[in-house]
Amino acid sequence: MNILHPLLNPILALFLAPLLPGIINRTKAIVAGRTGQPLLQLYYDLFRLFQKSAVYSLTVSPIFKAGPLVGLACIVMGLTLVPMGGIPSLFGFAGDLVVLAYLMGLARFFTVAAALDTGSAFEGMGASREVQFSVLAEPALLLGLAAISQVGLIRPLTALPTAIPLESLSEMLARLSMSVWMADGTVLLLTSAALFIVMLAENCRIPVDDPTTHLELTMIHEVMVLDHSGPDFGMILYAAALKLWIFLALLAGLLIPVRTGNFWMDGASILIGMVVIAIGIGVIESINGRLRLIRVPQLLAGALVLSVMALVMVLWG
């Protein structure tokens, strides 16, 4: 495989990620029968925000200013660890999935700290919810990936395997060919469902969070960034788009069993998959309402249960 192939995902992401929210919004608009925002709305927004100056609260400290920087940097680094189906990631190594999850954790830490730095009750509220949901989402994510790591392995029959493989995300996903899907489809479906829910939660989509609401009391992610403005806010929006990209890439890698070995073919299929999933998100957002906050943990717990089931099936199935 070409040494440049792993660069595909980061480069595509950096340029195309803002498109994904656009696709979702267009879908929602079409389903609702509205004209809706242009597909490239986020690009315009970002451009405008980076042009603007910033307003900072009187109470804030450097932590507030560090929040968007760390958030964006973490997500960008995360990008380098995500493969696109059969196309390996840039820096893949054994255990990179942990690093990926923890980079998002670091981003969360600083976003939340920045929110608390303003001293606003609303932002504290949002921060509090954000960390609450992550408590269930992250185990679901890591267990789901654990299940994937065991799919399609040739499991030794003897009690004493000589070596236990340690794999990177790329190797795990590269294995998921059609034949593996035929054999372990249920596990993969369960995992995909779990990861899909995690994706909805992590990217503040309905039914967990409504990115378009304007009632601060009910918001989660958006309310945390109320005080950010200008380039800071731009970075936050951009990071959010990249994060969505990461999850969609993972999901598409999971759901699209095209492992031909042909770079263009594999890449294109994953990209198409991502667009399809984005449209799917749009449809779901159109036909669902946001859950009551108190119900969200149940949804996430459901995701966790799905992951555990997948893992149980793959370990004993």
Partner 1 sequence: MGILFFTSLGVIQFSGLFALALGRQSRLANSVGSGGALVGALIGLVPAVRLFFTGQIMTVYRPWNIPYGSLSFQIDALSAFFLLPIFLLSAVCAAYGAQYLLPYRETKNLGASWFFFNTLVVSMALVVTARNGILFLMTWEIMSLASYFLVTFEHEKNQVQHAGWIYLTATHLGTACLLALFVLLARESGSMDFDRFESLRFHTDAIAGMAFVLALIGFGTKAGFMPLHVWLPEAHPAAPSHVSALMSGVMIKTGIYGLVRILEFLTFPEAWWGGVLMIIGLTSGILGVLFALAQHDLKRLLAYHSVENIGIIAMGLGLGLFGIATRHPVLACLGFAGGLLHVINHALFKGLLFLGAGAVLHATHTRNMDQLGGLITRMPWTAGAFALGSVAICGLPPLNGFISEFFIYVCSYAALGSPDISGPAGAGIIMGLAMIGTLAVACFTKVFGVVFLGVPRTACAEQAHESGWIMVVSMIILALGCVGVAGAAPWIVSLMNPVIARITGFSAGVVHGHLTIIQQPLESVTRISALLLAGIAGLALIRHRLLARKAVAQSPTWDCGYSQPTARMQYTASSYAQPLTRMFGAFLQTQCQYAAPDGFFPQAQSHLHTHTDDLFTRRIYEPVFRTMVRLLHGLYWMQQGHVQVYVLYIAITLLFLLVWTL
Which residues in the 204-263 window bind partner 1 by CB under 8 A? 216, 226-227, 230-232, 235
Does 128 participate in binding partner 1 (rule CB under 8 A)? yes
Contact region with partner 1 (CB under 8 A), list: 24-32, 86-94, 182-190, 271-279: 86-94
Contact region with partner 1 (CB under 8 A), list: 88-96, 176-184, 199-207, 263-271: 88-96
Q: How far apart are CA 153 and CA 145, in angstroms?
A: 14
SS (H, E, C) 122-176: HHHHHHHHHHHHHHHHHHHHHHHHHHHHHCCCCCCCCCCCCCCCCCCHHHHHHCC
The dihedrals phi and psi of 220, each to the nearest 5 degrees, come to -120, -75
Does 150 participate in binding partner 1 (rule CB under 8 A)? yes
Give min distance, CB of 199 to partner 1, in A: 16
For partner 1, the binding residue among 8, 13, 46, 72 (CB under 8 A) is 72
Give min distance, CB of 263 to partner 1, in A: 23
Residue nearer to partner 1 on the CB measure, 30 or 313:
313
Does 7 participate in binding partner 1 (rule CB under 8 A)? no
Give min distance, CB of 7 to partner 1, in A: 15
3-class secondary-structure state, position 119: coil
Would you put residue 95 in left (φ > 0), alpha (ψ -120 to 50) or beta? left
Length of the chain: 317
What mask, x for binding partner 1 by CB under 8 A, covers residues 153 to 192? x-xxx-xxx-xxxx--------------------------
For partner 1, the binding residue among 16, 30, 39, 77 (CB under 8 A) is 77
The CA-to-CA distance between both ends of the chain, in Å, stands at 34
Does 11 participate in binding partner 1 (rule CB under 8 A)? no
Does 56 participate in binding partner 1 (rule CB under 8 A)? yes
Residue owning tokens 């986020």:
42
Residue nearer to partner 1 on the CB measure, 10 or 21:
10
Do 278 and 23 touch, CB atoms closer than 8 A?
yes
For partner 1, the binding residue among 47, 50, 261, 272 (CB under 8 A) is 50
Burial string for 82-97 (b: 16+ CB within 10 Å, else e) reads bbbbbbbbbbbeeebb
- Omega before 10 within 30 of 0, i.e. cis: no
